[in-house]
């Protein structure tokens, strides 16, 4: 056999050995290995108690809305353990800077969480907000 054929055979043997090792792969506690047509999926097994939101009733309570005062560093906070109420926060989206008009525009969305801290709702984007920037006269 030519040297090139021997090298190719050796590589094929290595691939075959690795495929056999993968086929014999077994998962330990807390891990699931699924063999699918496109390859392997390795993931953590769900705990017997399920996730936090499924085992605890986090409904109810008066929703706290965290402030968003333009130009000020708001110091209000929310803590799942101590506040024990739902919370809503504004998230900035859709940023755009117009270099000709020297303006910044953006939108916001409201993210609402239950009192356990699990995301319950994402609201639609609001109307466009424009922040005008003063540009000094360079003449």
This prediction's pTM = 0.53
Both 72 and 38 in one domain: the answer is no
Q: How many CB atoms lie within 10 A of CB 30?
A: 10
Q: Which residue has the higher pLDDT, 38 or 124?
A: 124
Both 25 and 62 in one domain: the answer is no
* Token pair listed for 109: 């969305």
Range of the domain at 26: 3-44
DSSP state at residue 116: T
When pLDDT is cut at 50, 70 and 90, the band that residue 32 belongs to is: confident
Mean pLDDT, range 4-27, rounded to an integer = 79
Whether the CB-CB separation of 87 and 63 falls below 8 Å is answered with yes
Whether the CB-CB separation of 88 and 111 falls below 8 Å is answered with yes
Give the model's pLDDT for residue 53: 45
Please give the Cα distance from 129 to 69 (Å, whole number): 14
Give the model's pLDDT for residue 39: 67
Please give the Cα distance from 43 to 22 (Å, whole number): 15
Mean pLDDT, range 113-131, rounded to an integer = 90
Q: Which residue has the higher pLDDT, 122 or 135?
A: 122
């Amino acid at each position: 056999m030519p040297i090139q054929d021997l090298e190719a055979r050796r590589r094929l043997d290595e691939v075959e050995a690795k495929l056999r090792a993968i086929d014999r792969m077994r998962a330990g506690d807390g891990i699931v290995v699924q063999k699918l047509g496109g390859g392997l999926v390795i993931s953590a097994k769900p705990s017997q108690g399920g996730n936090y939101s499924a085992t605890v009733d986090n409904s109810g309570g008066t929703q706290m809305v965290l402030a968003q005062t333009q130009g000020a560093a708001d110091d209000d906070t929310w803590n799942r353990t101590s506040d024990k109420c739902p919370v809503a926060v504004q998230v900035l989206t859709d940023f755009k800077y117009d270099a000709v008009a020297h303006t910044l525009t953006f939108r916001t969305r409201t993210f609402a969480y239950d009192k356990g801290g699990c995301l319950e709702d994402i609201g639609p984007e609001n109307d466009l907000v424009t922040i005008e920037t003063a540009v000094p006269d360079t003449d």
